[in-house]
Amino acid sequence: MSFTLKTLIETMEKNPALAGADRLRQRLDMLDELDACLMRAGDASGPADVALRHRAEAIRTQWEALNAACYDFMRDEIRQGVAPSGLLRWMKDAAFEPGDAYDFRDELLSGVLAFDEPDAGIAELPSEMVFYQPTPARHIVDMIERTGLGDGDVLVDLGSGLGHVPLLAAICTGARCIGIELEQAYVQAAQRCAQTLHLGRVRFVQQDARVADVSEGTVFYLYTPFVGSVLSTVLDTLRQEASARDIRICTFGPCTATVAKQSWLKAVDPLKPGRIAVFRAS
Ligand SMILES: C[S@@+](CC[C@H](N)C(=O)[O-])C[C@H]1O[C@@H](n2cnc3c(N)ncnc32)[C@H](O)[C@@H]1O
């Protein structure tokens, strides 16, 4: 029997204040800790272990229902266009941490966006194209703030996956947002989410970023969707766009090093490891 697990379950069961809507973050953190404790406890099968696992499942079910009610409330706010939404308030409830780890904000964003995720039929990508992984939510908020993304902007996420970046940007700002993604199943899931949340300023296009029309974009985002010649081709297109108007290019992950070497681009502020970089044509 794990005594840490026992102590955690007791804390969760005996503290009615944790059931409040204002304790969403604590519940998310403690549910995360519960998973870690259960993992460490393994599958020990003594009667005390089994009883503890049952209690863990009961409190998890109860707290997930409480959290779902909070997500429903935020989804209603988003549909009604309430600004700033409760979602944004929670997104700013913790200090920014660099790096690619996920935290309670990602669980929260998943709960609010509630994708019906495709679980099969995802096509394998050609070489130089990178599989789907979402940007941690705090980085999206960080990018929105640092670019001052607003009404006059059009954010284009090149390789948008399920669409976390355009969807959260459309919820939090007045910008128009476009996601360009090769995988049809991701595009469909993102579109369904936008429709359900009545987000009229965001749209998703199923296309190879190399041939996509990016002429409307003012701020471009790339979470290393591709590398090598695919990245070079897309950067050539962006360079042409930059010769016609002022654009910014935001990057996360390994593609930042390649983008930083482009002589036509200059970082807006000093590059920091594990943080989105923002570039402007020099
Ligand atoms: C690392 S994920 C980033 C997802 C999303 N931008 C985010 O930050 O949450 C890269 C995405 O790019 C997509 N992708 C890869 N190559 C692409 C291409 N040539 N055109 C459009 N999308 C592409 C992948 O399918 C994947 O969903």
Same domain as 68, residue 169: no
- Over residues 166-193, the pLDDT tens digits come to 999 999 999 999 999 999 999 999 999 9
Domain edge (last residue) among 22, 53, 80: 80
What separation in Å is there between the alpha carbon of 254 and the centre of ligand 1? Answer: 14
Same domain as 145, residue 234: yes
Domain edge (last residue) among 23, 57, 80: 80
Contacts of 137 (CB under 8 A, 6+ apart): 91, 105, 106, 108, 109, 164, 168
Domain count, the chain: 2
Closest CA to 115 of 188, 64, 173, 58: 188
C-alpha distances in Å from residue 40, one per residue of 3, 33, 35, 256: 11, 10, 9, 36
- Over residues 113-172, the pLDDT tens digits come to 999 888 778 999 999 999 999 999 999 999 999 999 999 999 999 999 999 999 999 999
What is the Cα–Cα distance from 126 to 60, expressed in whole angstroms? 40
Cβ atoms of 116 and 249 within 8 Å: the answer is no
- 62 in any annotated domain: yes
Same domain as 231, residue 176: yes
Same domain as 119, residue 210: yes
Q: Determine how many CB atoms are found less than 10 A away from the CB of residue 169.
A: 28
Domain of residue 34, residue span: 3-80
What is the Cα–Cα distance from 48 to 114, expressed in whole angstroms? 36
What is the Cα–Cα distance from 39 to 255, expressed in whole angstroms? 34
Residue nearest to atom 5 of ligand 1 (CA): 160
Residue 90's pLDDT is 93
> Exposed/middle/buried for 176, CB within 10 Å: 0-12, 13-18, 19+?
buried
Q: Is the CB of 106 inside a 6 Å radius of any atom of ligand 1?
A: no
Same domain as 145, residue 53: no
Same domain as 247, residue 195: yes
What separation in Å is there between the alpha carbon of 152 and the centre of ligand 1? Answer: 25
- 97 in any annotated domain: no
- 106 in any annotated domain: no
Same domain as 262, residue 134: yes
What is the Cα–Cα distance from 172 to 88, expressed in whole angstroms? 7
Tell which one of 109, 113, 122, 129 to mutate to probe ligand 1, the residue whose CB is within 8 A of the most ligand atoms: 129
Same domain as 138, residue 22: no
- 86 in any annotated domain: no
Task: Read off the CATH number of the domain in which 128 is found.
Answer: 3.40.50.150
C-alpha distances in Å from residue 180, one per residue of 131, 166, 184: 14, 10, 10
Same domain as 138, residue 71: no
What residue ranges of the chain have pLDDT lower than 50?
Answer: 1
Residue 266's pLDDT is 98
Q: Is the CB of 230 inside a 6 Å radius of any atom of ligand 1?
A: yes
Cβ atoms of 2 and 42 within 8 Å: the answer is no
> Exposed/middle/buried for 32, CB within 10 Å: 0-12, 13-18, 19+?
middle
- 91 in any annotated domain: no
